[in-house]
């Protein structure tokens, strides 16, 4: 029988799911995944970075940002992709986000942080250079 003490804690568990979701991303620079989890520890929504359904994508060489080879973390206004955090919020019911936690495979950008707060999310848990960090609101 497996040692039950070896079970991952909730942060590790949901960040693992976010990492699996990230594999669907189609950005050629970085794949990001996000999971919205309610206070009852039930998954409400997932999202990955990608273009709108049927739209152009980085994977087909149609993203001006990727083509320009700008430094990481810059020129997001030229990107055709929607961030994982935004996609997870778009596919979640607003009431399900109230008091929830969002798990992300990298730190959220300033614009996504505003979206997360506006959606009613109370906590962000993200991977930051191999460690787990938290942002708490309210």
Catalytic site positions: 85
Beta bridge partners of 82: 50
Using DSSP's 3-state secondary structure scheme, residue 36 falls into: strand
Largest CA distance in the chain: 53
CA distances from 91 to 26, 119, 125, 138 (A): 18, 12, 19, 23
State residue 56 phi and psi, 5-degree precision. Answer: -65, 160
CA–CA gap between residue 127 and residue 110 (Å, rounded):
16
């Amino acid at each position: 029988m497996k040692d039950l003490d070896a079970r991952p804690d909730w942060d590790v568990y949901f960040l693992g799911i976010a990492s699996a979701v990230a594999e669907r991303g189609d950005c050629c620079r970085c794949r990001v995944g996000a999971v919205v989890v309610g206070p009852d520890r039930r998954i409400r929504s997932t999202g990955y970075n990608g273009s709108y359904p049927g739209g152009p994508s980085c994977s087909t060489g149609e993203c001006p940002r990727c083509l320009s080879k700008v430094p990481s973390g810059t020129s997001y206004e030229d990107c055709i992709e929607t961030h994982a955090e935004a996609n997870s919020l778009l596919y979640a019911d607003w009431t399900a986000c109230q008091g929830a936690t969002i798990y992300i495979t990298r730190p959220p950008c300033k614009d996504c942080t505003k979206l997360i707060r506006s959606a009613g999310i109370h906590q962000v848990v993200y991977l930051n250079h191999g460690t787990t960090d938290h942002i708490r609101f309210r």
